[in-house]
């Protein structure tokens, strides 16, 4: 049966290339391959469907610095897409948990920094509060949560690009698991937005 129990869900979201990579081999921080597709209606609607039920953002340090350095600047900018501004406001206003072994304290409001394993943090968050716990594009955190079978909802956007190498999301040795497809959308640009729930 599908996990629909009361309580919080751990929801992860990551963009993948068609050949299965989440970053280019030569520069893992270069996300220029994502940008032409991330601004499509399908990608924006996909992200909106994930953050609207979420009350906590769980991020690794690198992604936190990137996200929280950029998204607040979107708010109030002339001509910005309403989807983007709504997401930016949510990110600023929601509770954020940053996983880091190097950051002592966070320069952002409503933020807690923890130097603990991702699975342990996710389990602790699930035991308190309500609303989804959304892991936004932090591949190291998502990989750790998959390895501990802590992900309840797995959201992926697949963009029609071959990167020709680079890190992969699904490493060998993950716990065996079954998933059910709960939503899918395809864009005219070739983007696929897929959401799977863990069957437990």
Q: How far apart are CA 155 and CA 177, in angstroms?
A: 15
Report the alpha-carbon distance of residue 153 to residue 132 in Å, rounded: 10
Q: Where are the domains of the chain?
A: 10-199
114-159 tens-digit pLDDT: 999 999 999 999 999 899 999 999 999 999 999 999 999 999 999 9
The pLDDT value recorded for residue 184 is 98
pTM: 0.92
Residue 26 makes CB contacts below 8 A (sequence gap 6+) with none
Highest CATH level, class, for 10-199: alpha beta
Mean pLDDT score, 54-71 = 92
CA 108 to centroid of chain Cα atoms: 19
What confidence score (pLDDT) does residue 2 get? 41
Q: What average pLDDT does range 10-30 have in this prediction?
A: 94
Question: What are the tens digits of pLDDT across the range 3-18?
Answer: 444 579 999 999 999 9
Q: Confirm if 84 and 160 have CB atoms less than 8 A apart.
A: no
């Amino acid at each position: 049966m599908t996990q629909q129990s009361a309580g919080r869900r751990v929801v992860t979201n990551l963009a993948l290339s068609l050949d299965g990579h989440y970053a280019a081999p030569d520069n893992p921080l270069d996300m220029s391959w994502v940008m032409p597709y991330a601004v499509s209606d399908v990608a924006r609607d996909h992200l909106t469907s994930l953050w609207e039920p979420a009350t906590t953002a769980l991020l690794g340090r690198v992604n936190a610095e990137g996200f929280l350095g950029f998204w607040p600047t979107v708010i109030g900018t002339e001509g910005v897409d309403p989807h983007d501004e709504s997401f930016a406001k949510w990110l600023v206003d929601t509770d954020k948990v940053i996983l880091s072994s190097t950051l002592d304290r966070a320069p952002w409001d409503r933020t807690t920094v923890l130097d603990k394993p991702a699975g342990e943090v996710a389990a602790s968050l699930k035991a308190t509060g309500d609303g989804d716990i959304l892991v936004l594009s932090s591949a190291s955190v998502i990989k750790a949560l998959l390895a501990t079978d802590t992900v309840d909802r797995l959201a992926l956007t697949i963009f029609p690009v071959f990167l020709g190498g680079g890190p992969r999301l699904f490493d060998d040795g993950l716990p065996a698991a079954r998933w059910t497809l709960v939503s899918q959308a395809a864009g005219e640009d070739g983007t696929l937005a897929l959401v799977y729930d863990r069957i437990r």
